[in-house]
Amino acid sequence: MEVRGRWWNGSWDRIARRDIWLTSDGRAWRVRGRLGGDEGREVIHDFADERSARAMVEQMMRASSGTWRDLTEALRQESSRRRSD
């Protein structure tokens, strides 16, 4: 699955931190949300289309506090940099 989107609520605090990933294999879409740091609890939602998956991302961000940051472009740049090294 390729990462198509990545968001973080801006909190470094282990308890308050929230992360969301949007991934796809070209046919199926998956939204993965993590509550807490690296050891936090995760939820996974699978979708047949991108529109439904992105609607879930929006719903998850509205349900959680924080200043959400879209890390998608930074993730892509880092991935490109690593491939060129």
Q: Are residues 61 and 20 in contact, defined by beta-carbon separation less than 8 angstroms? A: yes
Whole-prediction pTM: 0.87
Q: How many independent structural domains does the chain possess?
A: 1
Separation CA 61–CA 6 (nearest Å): 12
pLDDT of residue 80: 66
Separation CA 13–CA 25 (nearest Å): 32
DSSP for 10-28 reads S--STTT-EEEEEEE-SS-
With 80 as the cut, is the pLDDT of residue 2 above it? yes
Separation CA 48–CA 36 (nearest Å): 27
Cα 3 versus chain centre, distance:
8
Residues spanned by the domain of 34: 2-84
32-69 tens-digit pLDDT: 999 998 889 999 999 999 999 999 999 999 999 889 99
Sign of the CA dihedral 67, 68, 73, 76? positive
Token pair of 50, please? 């991108």
